[in-house]
Amino acid sequence: MNVIDTDILLLGAGGAGLFAALHAKQANADLDVTIAVKGLIGKCGCTRMVQGGYNVAIDPRDSIERHFMDTIEGGGWLNDQDLAWLLVATAPERIRELETQLGCFFDRNPDGSIHQKAFAGQTFDRTVHKGDLTGIEIINRLAEQTWRRDVRRLEDHRALDLLPAADASGLAGVLMLDMRSGELVTVRARATLMATGGGPTMYKYHTPSGDKSCDGMAMALRAGLPLRDMEMVQFHPTGLLAGEDTRMTGTVLEEGLRGYGGHLVDATGERFMFAYDARGERATRDIVSRSIMDRIRSGHASPHGGVWIAMGHLGAENVRREFKGMVERCADCGFDLAAGRVEVIPTAHYMMGGMVFDAECATPMPRLFAAGEDTGGVHGANRLGGNGVANSTVFGGIAGDSIAARLNRDARLADVDRAALEAATVRAMAPLGRERGDLSGVRRRLYDTMWNDVGILRTAQGLARARIMLDDMAREIVACGVPVAERRYNLTWMDRLNLENLVLVSQAICVAAQARCDSRGAHFREDFPAVSDLANSRYSVIRRDGDALTVVTEPVRFTRVAPGESLFSAAQ
């Protein structure tokens, strides 16, 4: 087996991974930095797909305290408050870095100041953007700067499993698959960053690209690491609904449409959101998603089973100017977003839960760090739109800084546990040359199970049914072989590996949802619709022991503000 030794291994090339690379090299240019990614750097991942923008308190009328309170209240008071404060306090620094050091061009006001638009759930319009193509602007500049530096690139490489050290001192490296050659590669590293992103593609309607399969969270579970808040899966209210047989269905029509004044209407033509929340279409994503599902279940669905978003009343030319990318995307599917209306449905978008980590991005496993959507705690029960790309870039930069600082103190490259390497190798190679199973059938059942029973509206009966179905799927995947033994770009093999990870993480979502017998943020139990006592809030922590998933709850530490208090009012 090929073995690569490096100082820093970065798994993932989105905002978190690329920012970590740049900051690590800035701290110490002599560090050997390796980026491994399933696709191509600058061309894959969720950061590139960001349309809306980046939340940051830079307007003199706004404040970090106000952004913090919006984040905590939006997160249902489940956030790790120190991590949430780090997010909002570092975001102004990071946005200046993006503009002045990395060359991003964000939209400006006539006076030259950065334009900030309205996003839901916020008390101030603080979302910085580049039209509705913000992610492309950010990831292009990050990729360009990364290419200029001496960074090793392992493209078309997928991480398979974490490899502990032989002396049990922490992480030694990662077993990887070179998809171009089909060969396994052991990468040993003095420090590894998990930045693979989340990607809830286990749902029937979802926004992330098909290569996103929760690989980082699955690897963490298999390694026995704790994950928190896994029941908290965010559904974006307005995913394009173009029919059953197109991958365009689920594509996000970004929140700025509703912030700009777009209306949600049902099949009767009624604008319905004010019947559910005083903020109307600018309510938080969880509330809007549940309201849409209520209209659908009440028999007021559009022809394809969703509702409509209408923008024509705002003036077609205005909409075309402000949302050029989305107007063109909808036109490609035969819809006139600017002058007409478009069918939408809530679509699985983001995972608030993930790996437990601290303010230096360190995890409980020494030499393993994490940043971005692989992590939990920053957003609590529900992420504000615009806080996602801020999360990736803020904590990616922090990870790069803290890893470089630690490597200056610890120069050790650990030996890999041979038994763990052997077990991971056997797991990865086991399906090759065996009889084919029905992977397509498993995927369809996974879509339906997660959408119907572990989706926006949940019940004890539905979750119990889903848990049985998911356990059956996990066993069926083990029995599914890959008849063609050719390893190079074997897409059936990749599909099986993706599904294996998706089903494992789906099991974690389901088990955590069963354990939370109240409603909070993105988690809504129809049989327990009330929000429990905020002052006694607890978050879930899930681990895998053998084949069993166990959940415990921990009390939320109100380190900066308690329910009923406000940092913002105190600051004013």
List the catalytic residues. Answer: 236, 258
Sign (positive/negative) of CA torsion 252, 257, 259, 261? negative
- Distance (Å, rounded) from C-alpha 346 to C-alpha 341? 16
Return left, alpha or beta for 334; rule: phi > 0 is left, psi -120 to 50 is alpha, else beta: left
Nearest to 292 by CA among 303, 281, 445, 424: 281
Nearest to 295 by CA among 310, 308, 282, 283: 308
Q: For 422-444, give the DSSP string.
A: HHHHHHHHTTBTSPB--HHHHHH
DSSP letter for 560, please.
S
For residue 70, CA distances in Å to 41, 569, 572 come to 33, 12, 15
Residue 503 carries which side chain, given as an amino acid letter? V
- Distance (Å, rounded) from C-alpha 440 to C-alpha 37? 25
For residue 135, CA distances in Å to 24, 47, 53, 247, 275 come to 22, 5, 8, 20, 34
Task: Give burial (CB, 10 Å; 0-12/13-18/19+) of 532.
Answer: middle
H/E/C letters for each residue in 377-412?
CCCCCCCCCCHHHHHHHHHHHHHHHHHHHHHCCCCC
Distance of CA 341 to the CA centre of its chain: 28
Other beta carbons within 10 angstroms of residue 551's beta carbon come to 18
Q: How many Cα atoms within 13 Å fall on the side-chain side of residue 544?
A: 20
